[in-house]
Amino acid sequence: MDIITSSLLSIVVPLYNEQDNAILLTQKIHESLAGYNYQIIYIDDFSTDNTKQVVKGMKDVKVHLIELKKNYGQSLALAAGIDYAEGEYIITMDGDLQNDPSDIPEMLAYAVEGEYDLITGIRQKRKDSLVKKIPSKIANFLVRRVTKLDIKDNGCALKVFTKDIAKDLNLYGEMHRFITLLAHLEGAQIKQVPVKHHARNAGVSKYGLERVFKVVADMMLLLFIRKYFQRPIHLFGILGFLMILLGVLINMYLLVVKLGLGEDIGTRPLLMFGMMFILAGIQLFTIGIVMELLIRTYYESQKKRPYRIKKISVGDTPQ
Ligand code: UDP
Ligand code: MG
C-alpha cells in the first residue's frame, strides 16, 4: 500500500550529540521519501559535539535546523520541532538510525487514507539491551492493563501524525515515552504497524537505568490525567469527604465516651486519628476545588475546548 501524497510532510528529529549519524540519516530519509514533498526538521538539543556544524555543512535546502539554547531533553526538543513544523503530516523519529526511514511510506499511507490520526511503529526484533527491554515490557503491560488500549510498543519513536493531533500533544518533561497514550487521550484514532529496528548506528544512548523511576512517576501522573484531568473533584472531593466523615464519626464516638461514660479521652490515639482524618480530608477537598479552578483556567486561557469534534454535517453534507 503506497499512496504518494502531494501534502507537505515534516520529518521531526531531535539530535543530541549525533554528529556521526546526521549525514547517513539525512541520506536515508531522502532515499525513502523520493517523490514526496517534505521538509526535515532537526532540533539540536544543545549538543556538545559537532552535530549542528554537521547539519549546516549539508547545505541541504530541505533541512531546517532549530538550535535550542540548552539541553531540554528529547520531549521538549520534539515539541520545538512539532511547533515549527509546517507539514500536513508530521513524522517523528530518533536521530541514531534505530528507526528506519524506509518504513515511513507505508505508515504515511494509513494517515493519508484519512481514517487514522496517529500511526505508530511496533519495533520488530528490537535491538536493545535487556536492561532496556524489560522495563519497557513492564511499562507496556501496565499501560495496556489500565487503559484497555492495546498499545504494543509505547517506546517506538517512529510515528506519523496528522498535524492537528501532533500540535495538540502538549509534551512536557519526558512524556515522549507516552505519546501514543497522550494522543489517545486527545481522541486520536491509532494504527500500529510493525517497523524495522536497528542497533544505534554511532554514538551512545542518552539514557541509563534511572529512566525506570521516571517512567513509573510519569505513568502515575498519566493515569491520573487519563481518569480525572477534567474532573479532579471526583477524586479529591470524594476521598476528602470520606475522610472527614470518618474523622467526625471517630470524634463523635469519643464525645459519647467522654460525656456519656465520663472516661478521659485526652490520651487516646484514636483522638489523634479523628483529628487527622478531618484535617487531611479538608485538605484533599480543597485541593480538589483548586484543581477544578486550574482546569478551567487551562482550557479558557488557551480558548481550548474540553472536547474534540470529528466531523459536522448538515443534512448529509459534511461542513
Ligand atoms: N535526544 C535529545 N535530547 C536528549 C536526549 C536524547 O534530543 O537530551 C535524542 C537523541 O539524539 C536521539 C533520541 O533523542 O535522537 C533518542 O535518544 P537515544 O537514542 O539516546 O535513546 P534510546 O534509543 O537509547 O532510548
Ligand atoms: Mg536510540
Enumerate the domain spans of the chain: 2-129+155-200+309-318, 227-301
Atom of ligand 1 nearest to the CA of 43: 7
Tens of pLDDT along the chain (319 residues) come to 566 788 999 999 999 999 999 999 999 999 999 999 999 999 999 999 999 999 999 999 999 999 999 999 999 999 999 999 999 999 999 999 999 999 999 999 999 998 999 999 999 998 888 888 888 888 888 888 877 788 999 999 999 999 999 999 989 999 999 999 999 988 899 999 999 999 999 999 998 888 888 888 888 888 888 889 899 999 999 999 999 999 999 999 999 999 999 999 999 999 999 999 999 999 999 999 999 999 999 999 988 888 888 889 999 888 7
Nearest listed ligand to the Cα of residue 157? 1
Cβ(94) – ligand 1 distance below 6 Å:
yes
Q: 317 pairs with which residues across the strands? A: 314
In the chain, the amino acid numbered 310 is K
Q: What is the structure's pLDDT at 43? A: 98
pLDDT of amino acid 131:
81
How far is 20 from 24, CA to CA, in rounded Å? 8
Contact 23, 54 (CB under 8 A): yes
- Closest-CA residue, ligand 1 atom 23, reads 205
The answer to whether the CB of 240 is under 6 A from ligand 1 is no
Question: What was the pLDDT predicted at 317?
Answer: 85
Residue 73 CA: which ligand is closest? 1
**Cα of 180 from ligand 2 centre, angstroms:** 18
What 3-state DSSP class applies to 96?
Answer: coil
Q: Is 206 in the pocket of ligand 1 (CB under 6 A)?
A: yes
> How remote is the CA of residue 278 from the centroid of ligand 2, in Å?
50
Rounded (10°) angle between helices 130-147 and 211-228: 10
Characterize the bridge pairing of strands 159-162 and 118-123.
antiparallel
Does ligand 1 lie within 6 Å of residue 117's CB atom? no
Question: Nearest C-alpha to atom 19 of ligand 1 is from which residue?
Answer: 205
| DSSP structural state of residue 257 | I
Task: Measure 169 CA to ligand 1 centroid, in angstroms.
Answer: 19
Task: Check: CB of residue 244 under 8 Å from CB of residue 278.
Answer: yes
In contact, 97 and 199? CB cutoff 8 Å: no
| pLDDT tens-digit series, residues 24-74 | 999 999 999 999 999 999 999 999 999 999 999 999 999 999 999 999 999
- The C-alpha cell at 67 is 538550535
81 C-beta closer than 6 A to ligand 1: no
- What was the pLDDT predicted at 1? 57
Q: Whose CA is nearest to atom 22 of ligand 1?
A: 205
SS3 (DSSP) at 301: helix
Within the chain, where are the H helices? 22-32, 51-57, 74-84, 104-113, 130-147, 163-167, 179-185, 211-228, 232-255, 269-301
Residue-level pLDDT at 27: 98
Cα torsion 264, 266, 269, 274 to 10°: value is 110
Output the CA 94–ligand 2 centroid distance in Å: 6
CA angle 149–152–153, rounded 5-degree value: 120
User: How much is the pLDDT for 15?
Assistant: 98
Task: Return the pLDDT at 311.
Answer: 84
Residue 164 to residue 117: CA distance in whole angstroms: 8
Q: Is the CB of 95 under 6 A from ligand 1?
A: yes
Ligand 1 pocket, 133 CB below 6 A? Answer: no
DSSP conformation letters of 164-215: HHHHT----TTGGGGHHHHHHHTT--EEEEEE-----SSS--S--TTHHHHH
3-class SS of residue 27: helix
Atom nearest to 13 CA in ligand 1? 15
Give the domain 2-129+155-200+309-318 fold.
Spore Coat Polysaccharide Biosynthesis Protein SpsA; Chain A (3.90.550)
Instruction: Choose one of 94, 175, 211 to mutate for the ligand 1 pocket test, by most ligand atoms within 8 angstroms of C-beta.
Output: 94
For residue 51 and ligand 1, the question of a CB distance below 6 A is answered with no
